[in-house]
Structure 1
Amino acid sequence: MKLQGKMFVGLAVFMLAAAIVYGFWSKEAAGTTALFMGFALCTMIGFYLAFTARRADTGAQDREDADIADDAGELGFFSPHSWQPLALAVGGSLAFLGIIFGWWLMFFAAPVILIGIYGWVFEYYRGENRTQ
């Protein structure tokens, strides 16, 4: 993770330099703001990765003498397929369409969003994990 943190910090430095040069050269506010926001996002991700690398074990990518096979094996738990993101996408789409066409559409979007959030939060409390 140290390598990824250094990569994002390097990208943040580049984005800052690009934002300054672009801002002075073009005097255009939208692009300059977008580049400064990109700098801020890269800085946050780089800081998070550097902070996490100090607390986590050294991975194979952080060692010079590591082989590809050193990083093999189980990487963690990943969720199986889920329909809840689709429900949230449909609800979010309806909500944004409500901003465009009329706030009355929010009455249809809110239940879909709430059902999607509820389903995603309690997705693993079914079957053998369910409480009585």
Structure 2
Amino acid sequence: MRIQGNLFMWLSLFFLIVAGVYGVWSKEPVGTTALFLAFGLSIMIGFYLGFTARRVDVGAQDNKEADVADDSGEVGFFSPHSWQPLALAAGGALAFLGVAVGWWLMYFSAPVLLLGIWGWVFEYYRGENRTQ
């Protein structure tokens, strides 16, 4: 994690320099603001990764003598199949369509979004863990 933190710190320095040069040469406020925001985001991520790297064990990515296989292992649990992201995507598309067409479409997108979130959160609370 330390290497990734350093990468983001160097990236934030790059964004700061580019934002200054761009702001002076172009005198365009939107692009300059976006570059300064990218600087802020990069420095936040870099600080978080550097701070977290001090508190956790050294990973294989921080060891120069490590092989790719040294970082293998269980990453986590991933659902093999789920229809809930499709419901969330449909609700999100309907909500964004509501911004373009009319706000009244939000009345139709809100239940679809809520059902998609509810289904995704409680997807594995079935069977013996189910409450009556």
Q: Which amino acid aligns with 2:81?
A: H
Between 1:36-45 and 1:10-19, the stretch displaced more is 36-45
Listed one character per residue, the Cα deviations across residues 29-71 of structure 1 (whole Å, up to 9, x for unaligned) are 1111111111111112111211221222110111223222221
Offset, 1:123: 2.1
Q: Which amino acid aligns with 2:105?
A: L
The TM-score, its normalising length taken from structure 2, stands at 0.88
Q: Which amino acid aligns with 1:67?
A: D
Q: Which residue number corresponds to residue 118 of structure 1?
A: 118
Q: Which residue number corresponds to residue 23 of structure 1?
A: 23
* SS of corresponding position for 2:124: coil
Q: Which residue number corresponds to residue 88 of structure 1?
A: 88
The TM-score, its normalising length taken from structure 1, stands at 0.88
Q: Which residue number corresponds to residue 46 of structure 1?
A: 46
Listed one character per residue, the Cα deviations across residues 84-112 of structure 1 (whole Å, up to 9, x for unaligned) are 22212211111121122222111110000
**In structure 2, how many angstroms separate the alpha carbons of the residues matched to 1:66 and 1:6?**
19
Q: Which amino acid aligns with 1:90?
A: A
Between 1:108-117 and 1:79-88, the stretch displaced more is 79-88
Asked if 1:75 corresponds to 2:75, the answer is yes
Offset, 1:129: 4.1
Residues 13 and 79 (structure 1), Cα distance of their counterparts in 2 relative to 1, 3 Å cut: farther
**In structure 2, how many angstroms separate the alpha carbons of the residues matched to 1:107 and 1:76?**
36
Computed over aligned residues only, the root mean square deviation of the Cα atoms, in angstroms, reads: 1.7
* SS of corresponding position for 1:106: helix
Between 1:109-118 and 1:98-107, the stretch displaced more is 98-107
Residues 72 and 38 (structure 1), Cα distance of their counterparts in 2 relative to 1, 3 Å cut: same
**In structure 2, how many angstroms separate the alpha carbons of the residues matched to 1:44 and 1:62?**
20
Offset, 1:8: 0.7
Asked if 1:14 corresponds to 2:9, the answer is no
Q: Which residue number corresponds to residue 64 of structure 2?
A: 64
Q: Which amino acid aligns with 2:61?
A: Q
Structure 1 residue runs without a partner (length 5+): none
Aligned residues: 132
